[in-house]
Every structure is written in C-alpha cells, then in structure tokens.
Amino acid sequence: MPSFGTVLSPIGEIGVVSDGTAIRRVTWRSDPPARTDAETDAEPDPLLAEALDQLTAYFDGALREFDLPVDLGRQTDTTRAVLLALYETVGHGETLTYGGLARRSGTEVPARGIGAIMGANPVPIIVPCHRVVAGDGLGGYSGGAPGQGLATKRWLLEHEGALPTSLF
C-alpha cells in the first residue's frame, strides 16, 4: 500500500511515494495520490520517513549520498541500465554528459535518447538526472515547478558544487 509525504525545499515542495520496501516516485506534485479509506488508516511507513529525512538533510547540505532502496518501475532493459549507471556511478558534485552516460551504461543509446530517459526517471534527485548535462551547456531538465526546469537543475548543481553559484 503506497504512502505519500512531502518535504519543503528551496526548489519547491517535493512529494515522495513509498511502498514500504522502496521509494517509487519523487515529484514536485504536492497533492497526494487518491487514497482509499484502508490506506488512510495504514501504519506509518518508516521508509517514507527516512526518505523525507534524507531529502531534508540533502537540501540542508548535510547529506551527499542517498541510502534508499528505489524501484524504477516498469522500464525497458536499456532505460533501467542507463538509470542504474547514473545512480551507481555519478556522485555528488559530479556531472556527466548525455553521451558519456550512454557510454558508461554500455548501451547504444544516442545522446538525445539519454535525455528522454532522464525525463522518464521516476525518482529524480535520488537518481540524480540533474547531473547529466549537454556537452555545450546544461541541457534540459523536466523537474521542478512548471517552467522552472533549467532553474531547478542549475540550483541543484550549484547546491552540490558542480557549478559556481550564479551572481544573478
């Protein structure tokens, strides 16, 4: 039975969905998914509480690496390989190009395809798709409040020290 919680952050209210064994979703949606009466009476989810605590610590600058089980949901083998390569090999404060991630994942996906896979990431921030950049700039980002994707990506990369803090 999924549990939902939120954490306030400098980039908006972050919603987290847990099934009790893994984090299944991280969104900028602040409205919880529809619940049944049985779910409303459910016991607190310790994994959800831990995820919210870790996200709070990350945004406070006290956490550099998440230690949470994630469930990427139904994905193709290629998408799963790319997301796992990102999760397992690109650390806090690092960036990697779309093409570099394609090579690192061992897939034949072109850079544009990697961008589409990043957009399909169900657990952004924890699986750090914001760390994947274009060879000539930031690239795109579908996270954040509507219309704030690149500003959100820039904030996350500045927060991690991968980009110098913007003067404006």
What distance in Å separates the CA atoms of residue 21 and residue 2, rounded to the nearest whole number? 10
Chain-centroid distance of CA 102 in Å reads 18
Known catalytic residues?
Answer: 129
Q: pTM of the full predicted structure?
A: 0.89
CATH 1.10.10.10 domain span(s) along the chain: 77-159
Q: Give the 3-state secondary structure of residue 151.
A: helix
Q: Which H/E stretch holds residue 135?
A: none
Where are the extended beta strands (E) located within 93-159? 96-97, 132-133
Identify the CATH class of 77-159.
Answer: mainly alpha
pLDDT digits (tens), the chain, 168 positions: 789 999 999 999 999 999 999 999 999 865 555 655 544 546 789 999 999 999 999 999 999 999 999 999 999 999 999 999 999 999 999 999 999 999 999 998 998 899 999 999 999 999 999 999 998 888 888 888 888 889 999 999 999 999 887 765
What distance in Å separates the CA atoms of residue 76 and residue 55, rounded to the nearest whole number? 27
